[in-house]
Chains A and B, each alone.
Chain A
Amino acid sequence: MSMVNADRVVPPLLPDEHNLLRAVAHCVNDIVFVKDLEGRHLFVNEAGARFFALAPAEVVGKTNHELLEPQTAEAVEATDRATYAAGRELKFEQTLTGPNGTRVFLTSKAPYRDAEGRLIGLLGISCDITERKRMEEELRRSHQETVDILESITDGFYTLDREWRLTYINRRAEEFLRMSRQTDIGRNIWKIYPDAVGSIFQEKYQKVMDEHVSVNFEAEYDGRWWELNVYPKSDGLSVFFRDITERTRACLALTQSEARYSLVFKATADVIYDWDNRTDQVFFNDAIESAFLYSKEKIELTGNWWADHVHPEDRRRVLASIWTAFAGTAVNWSAEYRFLKGDGTYVDVLDRAYIERDSSGRAMRTIGVMQDLTQQKRTEQLESERQHLRDAVAAMETVLGVVGHELRTPLAGLMAMSDYVLDPESAGTPERENFLKGMSHEIDRMSRTVDDLLEAARLNSGRARWNWEEFELEPVCREALETIRPLIDSSKVALSLRFEPGPATMWGDAAALRRLIINVLSNARKHTSAGSVDLKVSSAEFDGARWTEIEVSDTGGGITPEVLERLGEAFALNSGVVGSNFISGTGLGLAICKGIAEAHGGSVHFASDVGRGTRVTVRLRADLEGPAPVRQRLFSGAGESNKEAA
């Protein structure tokens, strides 16, 4: 039926020609159709009928409105109208939905005219491009994905063609290489970076290009380190690269710092340990062998081994301290203790450790240094001795100055007196006789000063010789008293001696003690013009020791507090420290007394009231069977206070 209709409107064709065309039309995959002016299908081929899910004969005579959804039909007719309006062939890309689904067509439509040129309908060919569109879309998306990836990666990326021209640069590469895709795409890379010509970059790129192998290398460029991965491509090569400067630096720094530490580890004389607190394993550096004289192969490298070699007297304290540190939150720990060396001797160590903890605060690892303090202590001791010597030298210089002064004054007198005596014109004068006596007296005095100096020096240096024995105190005190008696005007000053509770014995050097008492009595005598000088000797026991106390009281002028403060300090009163017109003498006498008292385990104390008198108390141990060391520094400056304790 459709054939009839079609035949009716189709221009006259040879029957063969007609059939041929029909046959051809049915064979092609594209849709071929002819419609009349009302939109009715005059012809549709097999492919066209398949779209409608019908046979060609079922389509002929029907409009699109009868065959398709109204929306689709309208869309098709719109293109029909456009074609009629244009009066010529037009091409449309249309997405149409038929019973079998939605397809995309590229359709050519042209007005259909009869032999006389009258418009009688429309003919068209639709090519189903659904697959092609899908493939194109796929390809586009895939390309975009690639580009997106290349744009988003942190590596720099660019591609070169076989003529070394840049064909693509990603954003990172633009940043890294300070290039721009606007200006640099298409440019020869060796022209952009002439300084890279002949470099490792060119060498490696050439290899990739020539041998079609991928290459990975690191190189420095523009002051930074780069890692490059270069891959061959059919039309050139692609380059991935990243900045590894920081990593390289860190790596270098690590290598250097490791080298340093390992050097320190090896070179130090201190024992360094690394103690794994979970396994109790300890790593020691070589100093455990060189300094502590153990063979690493022969010792158990554990914390237990360390603990066993801490001196038994220190062990409890040290272990308690370190376990407390582990149990707490401290990251630092230190202790001083004695540690047993391989040769069986102990070494004083200062152990300082750093405790590493896990997230829960548990001690995981303890790294520490055991420093041998022997050397340090020796140095400290030497330094202290040196300081002692410096002090002693300074004191001796002061003493020499004062001694110079002390001897120069009588020397000047001796010179003047001898000058007078030797002057012939002095013959027979009364002064001549006086000066000869004076000279003799001065010579005695100077001689005594020299003796005192030597004795003080011996006491000071601890080289005094003692004649130690147990002796009766009474005869010693009487002898001293009798030595002084002739110098006292008995009509003005009373001299007395008493013992409390009675005469006693003591251990010591009797001669030295006599000298001490004479000295104290002699001072009292010098400063007492009227009244009394009393010597009282008492014995007592306290604190489980036997003591002798020798007390000399006078009714003399007394001593001012500032003088009292410096009594017994050799030369203090003559060295300008204290100006006084009534104290004369070197001060050596009392300094010697203090030294003697100290050798007897005792001390000398002074109490005085200006205008009323002075009391000197010498306290001595009576039961020392040998001399006590004399610590006193007779020639040094301020010592302990001389004032009697209340």
Chain B
Amino acid sequence: MILIIDDVEIFREPIAACLRLAGFETTCAPDGVEGLKKAKELKPELILLDMAMPRMDGISFLRALRDEPALREVPVIALTAVSAKEYVNRAKDLNVCEYLLKSRFRAKELIERVRSHLGQSSRQPTSA
């Protein structure tokens, strides 16, 4: 189960759809508050997290996430529309495994990254 948290629907939904085509189970949330609720409830294997969101932004979400013992080790890939630089320092110690810049990657590449963080080899999707 992969949790995609992003307020931009036209990005969030096709990304989720692509991941599903690749064999992953997905669930989506439009902001950090919803995302946290779903994370606690569904215990995702990996989270794709937009950093700039209303209500609860990426940093606040990460802090809350790492406070949950059960969610402390969930890998997070951060997605930003601007440079990742401003987040790298602020998200220190929050265990972000990768920063990806929106519009700089295609769906295939994202799927590769997701697989690699999940310890899976390519072309061997695990269905949940």
List residues of chain A with CB under 8 Å of any chain B CB.
401, 404-405, 408-417, 419-420, 423, 425-426, 429, 431, 434-435, 438, 442, 576, 579-581
Contacts and interface: CB of A to CB of B under 8 A. Distances in A.
Interface in B78-128: 81-82, 102-103, 106-108
A411 B103 contact: yes
Given A416-B107, A419-B107, A409 B8 contact: yes
Contact of A435 (B17, B52, B102, B108): B17
B21 A413 contact: no
Most chain B Cβ neighbours within 10 Å, of A409, A412, A429: A412
Contacts of B15: 416
Contacts of A408: 81, 102-103
A419 B108 contact: yes
Interface of B: 7-8, 10-11, 13-15, 17-18, 21, 31, 52, 54-55, 81-82, 102-103, 106-108
Nearest to A432: B17
A419 B81 contact: no
A405 B14 CA distance: 19
A412 B13 CA distance: 12
Contacts of A429: 17
Given A416-B107, A419-B108, 18 more contacts: A409-B103, A412-B11, A412-B81, A412-B102, A413-B8, A413-B11, A413-B14, A415-B107, A416-B14, A416-B18, A419-B107, A423-B18, A425-B21, A434-B13, A435-B14, A438-B10, A579-B54, A581-B31
A438 B8 CA distance: 12
A405 B54 contact: no
B99 to A, nearest CB: 14
Nearest to B15: A416
Contacts of A579: 54
A59 B94 CA distance: 151
B81 A423 contact: no
B81 A409 contact: yes
Contacts of B54: 579-581
Contact of A417 (B10, B21, B55, B82): B10
Nearest to A425: B21
B102 A409 contact: yes
28 contacts: A404-B82, A408-B102, A409-B11, A409-B81, A409-B102, A410-B10, A411-B103, A412-B81, A413-B14, A415-B106, A417-B10, A417-B14, A419-B14, A419-B106, A419-B107, A420-B14, A420-B17, A425-B21, A426-B21, A429-B17, A431-B13, A431-B17, A434-B13, A438-B14, A442-B10, A580-B54, A581-B7, A581-B54
A581 B56 CA distance: 10
A420 B18 contact: yes
A413 B107 CA distance: 11
Contacts of A580: 54
Nearest to B10: A413
Contacts of A412: 8, 11, 81, 102-103
Contacts, number: 69
Most chain B Cβ neighbours within 10 Å, of A410, A411, A415, A429: A415
A423 B21 CA distance: 8
B91 to A, nearest CB: 16
Nearest to B7: A581
A416 B55 CA distance: 25
Given A405-B82, A411-B103, A420-B107, A426 B17 contact: yes
B18 A419 contact: yes
Contacts of B55: 581
A435 B18 CA distance: 11
A411 B55 CA distance: 24
A435 B13 CA distance: 9
A129 B81 CA distance: 133
Contacts of B21: 420, 423, 425-426
Contacts of A431: 13-14, 17
Contacts of A410: 10
A409 B82 CA distance: 10
B62 to A, nearest CB: 17
B4 to A, nearest CB: 11
Contacts of A426: 17, 21
Contacts of B102: 408-409, 411-412
B33 to A, nearest CB: 11
Nearest to A582: B54
A425 B11 CA distance: 19
A581 B13 CA distance: 19
A415 B10 CA distance: 10
B56 to A, nearest CB: 10
A420 B108 CA distance: 10
A305 B88 CA distance: 75
Contacts of B108: 419
A401 B14 contact: no
Nearest to A576: B52
Contacts of A411: 102-103
A438 B7 CA distance: 16
Contacts of A434: 13
B21 to A, nearest CB: 5
A442 B14 CA distance: 13
Nearest to A434: B13
A580 B7 CA distance: 12
A202 B52 CA distance: 98
A568 to B, nearest CB: 21
A470 B86 CA distance: 53
A442 B10 CA distance: 8
Contacts of A409: 8, 11, 81, 102-103
A416 B54 CA distance: 22
Contacts of B106: 415, 419
A419 B108 CA distance: 8
A423 B103 CA distance: 18
Contacts of A414: 10
Nearest to A406: B81
Contacts of B17: 420, 426, 429, 431, 435
B81 A405 contact: yes
B106 to A, nearest CB: 6
A409 B52 CA distance: 11
Most chain A Cβ neighbours within 10 Å, of B17, B21, B52: B17
Most chain A Cβ neighbours within 10 Å, of B10, B55, B106: B10
Contact of B11 (A401, A416, A576, A581): A416
B65 to A, nearest CB: 20
A401 B86 CA distance: 14
Contacts of A416: 11, 14-15, 18, 107
A126 to B, nearest CB: 129
Contact of A401 (B13, B18, B52, B82): B82
A401 B55 CA distance: 23
Contacts of A413: 8, 10-11, 14
